[in-house]
Amino acid sequence: MAGERVGNLKIVARDERSVTPQSEDFSAWYNDVVFRAELVDRGPVRGSMVIRPYGYRIWELLQADLDARIKVTGHQNAYFPLLIPQSYMQREAEHVEGFAPELFTVTHAGGKELEEPLVIRPTSETIIGEMMAKWISSHRDLPLLLNQWANVLRWEMRPRMFLRTSEFLWQEGHTAHATPADAIAETMLALDFYQDTAVETAAMASVPGEKTPRERFAGAERTFTIEAMMRDGRALQAGTSHFMGTNFAAVFGITYTGEDGTAELCHTTSWGMSTRMIGGLIMTHGDDKGLVLPPTLAPYQVVIVPIGRGEQAEATASAATELAATLRHAGIRTHVDARPQVSPGFKFNDWEMRGVPIRLELGPRDLAAGTALMSRRLSYPQPVAAKEAIPLGAAPELLATELAALQAMLTRRATEFRDDHTAVVDSWPEFVAAVAVGWALALQCGEPECEDEIKAETTATPRCIPLGGDPEQGPCVRCGKPSAYGKRVIFARAY
């Protein structure tokens, strides 16, 4: 049997390719997955990341999905310069305070020292604000709905692939409106994009909510977020949407003339989702075998491994190529692993580790029977299902159904995991126990000192006030003072 003959190779391969179990060291598991699945590599500069083709394809799929949501609602893409005069960053007081420690500064260009240093954008509110002021004059120019796909840079002391890197890719929406109500509606619309992308596309069980005042974006009046639960119980902020009020309009002079001829300040918003989302995807679905990708975002939804030697190898390889063409024609992203130098067993482990939803084995016996042997990457709540023979003629329809079922299963699993690891708590011991393994839904006083104490003792911070929560009041879970926000707050350790 091929499997036995190449036993040594398989063992070697497994050692090289396998990942640290999640339960042993979640952080080591994450690093093993991102590097061994060839999603990324370390760049030469501290905190920099190279996104390899397998990782970048996930980003492209996510980007296409989110871009369509952004465009269909009337937003238009544009592109603004990377380099911003240092003085721009300093105009909005909170904004500069928030970003100053993270800036990369360009002092020389074309061999000469610049008169005014330039900063590399950590976000584009200031430069887009400057242009909005130029483009908007009448109420007829509103709303102005812009979006940009770009790289931004923020100096990171403790970099982590996808989650915190000095450079990351993102989209940043920037809009201007006549009234606060319009701008708030836009802020919520953008939050919907993120929640829908996270749930429908990434199969995550994120919770939309509002940030508490201390967690707001630098310069915003209100910040909304979607928070997702990772499989170690921590929270990850996966997208944020900000209502700026007239803060940026006032400092950049973004005004419009109303129907009655008077000049008014615009109300602006900004919102962003980044490559960080890929880190969230990994930590939502992954397991001890490695990556688990939802079919919607999998570079390859199906991998076919042809099996056989000599003349049989030719027949199965050509059948695999033919099957792949049929599946691709049906819109299924399919890859044939025809590497001659590694065994089928190595390939099975490799694609499992790389999170491919469905594997098909195609050997001489399968071919004779007109079938392929299907394995699912994950099965839930049942243990992993056995391999299953599927008729080649019906493969496109069967696999499309399987992929949809896998997608739905991942969403269900993520939702159940989140709910199983979220506790409504009313006492401090309950709180401590809850944030050790997941999220605590608690009433809290909102006082900075109390938040600091909670963080010092548990490392948990307020993640958001969920939009859907019922009105509730009571004593603070920590200090007993009256609760703030009129609702329970999600507290968790966070990325």
The reply on whether position 76 binds a copy of itself by CB under 8 A is yes
DSSP at 459: -
Integer Cα distance of 413 and 376 in angstroms: 15
Choice between 79 and 388, CB closer to a copy of itself: 79
- What does the DSSP assignment read for 387-438? PEEEEGGGHHHHHHHHHHHHHHHHHHHHHHHHHHTEEE--SHHHHHHHHHHS
Mapping DSSP to helix (H, G, I), strand (E, B) and coil, where does residue 323 land? helix
The reply on whether position 79 binds a copy of itself by CB under 8 A is yes
* Chosen residue from 146, 198, 282, 283 binding a copy of itself by CB under 8 A: 146
Minimum Å gap between C-beta 243 and a copy of itself is 23
Integer Cα distance of 285 and 355 in angstroms: 9
* Chosen residue from 53, 180, 482, 486 binding a copy of itself by CB under 8 A: 53
Return left, alpha or beta for 441; rule: phi > 0 is left, psi -120 to 50 is alpha, else beta.
beta
The reply on whether position 153 binds a copy of itself by CB under 8 A is yes
**Which tokens is 476 given?**
């603070």
The reply on whether position 339 binds a copy of itself by CB under 8 A is yes
Stretch that binds a copy of itself, among 149-157, 207-215, 396-404, 476-484 (CB under 8 A): 149-157
Residues 84-123 that bind a copy of itself (CB under 8 A): 84-85, 88, 100-111, 117-118, 120
**Which tokens is 48 given?**
């920099």
Minimum Å gap between C-beta 114 and a copy of itself is 9
Return left, alpha or beta for 403; rule: phi > 0 is left, psi -120 to 50 is alpha, else beta.
alpha
The reply on whether position 318 binds a copy of itself by CB under 8 A is no
Among 322, 350, 330, which residue's Cα sits nearest to residue 403?
330
Choice between 57 and 387, CB closer to a copy of itself: 57
**Which spans in 268-389 are helix H?**
276-285, 311-329, 344-353, 364-369
Minimum Å gap between C-beta 50 and a copy of itself is 5
Integer Cα distance of 304 and 327 in angstroms: 11
Residues 190-209 that bind a copy of itself (CB under 8 A): none
Choice between 35 and 428, CB closer to a copy of itself: 35
Residues 125-144 that bind a copy of itself (CB under 8 A): 127, 130-131, 134-135, 140
Choice between 36 and 365, CB closer to a copy of itself: 36
The reply on whether position 341 binds a copy of itself by CB under 8 A is yes
Stretch that binds a copy of itself, among 54-62, 242-250, 316-324, 458-466 (CB under 8 A): 54-62
Per-residue binding letters, 19-48, with a copy of itself (x by CB under 8 A): ----------------------x-xxx--x
Amino acid at position 388, single letter: E
Instruction: Using DSSP bridges, classify how beta strands 461-466 and 207-210 pair: parallel, antiparallel or unpaired.
Output: antiparallel
The count of residues in the chain is: 495
Choice between 146 and 307, CB closer to a copy of itself: 146
Choice between 14 and 328, CB closer to a copy of itself: 328
Integer Cα distance of 74 and 142 in angstroms: 12
* Chosen residue from 3, 81, 180, 370 binding a copy of itself by CB under 8 A: 81
Integer Cα distance of 103 and 393 in angstroms: 58
The reply on whether position 77 binds a copy of itself by CB under 8 A is yes
Integer Cα distance of 18 and 29 in angstroms: 10
Contact 84, 118 (CB under 8 A): yes
Minimum Å gap between C-beta 45 and a copy of itself is 5
The reply on whether position 150 binds a copy of itself by CB under 8 A is yes
Q: What are the backbone angles phi and psi of residue 378, rounded to the nearest 5°?
A: -155, 145
Positions touching a copy of itself (CB under 8 A) are 41, 43-45, 48-53, 56-57, 59-60, 76-85, 88, 100-111, 117-118, 120, 127, 130-131, 134-135, 140, 146, 150-151, 153, 155, 157, 166-167, 169, 339, 341
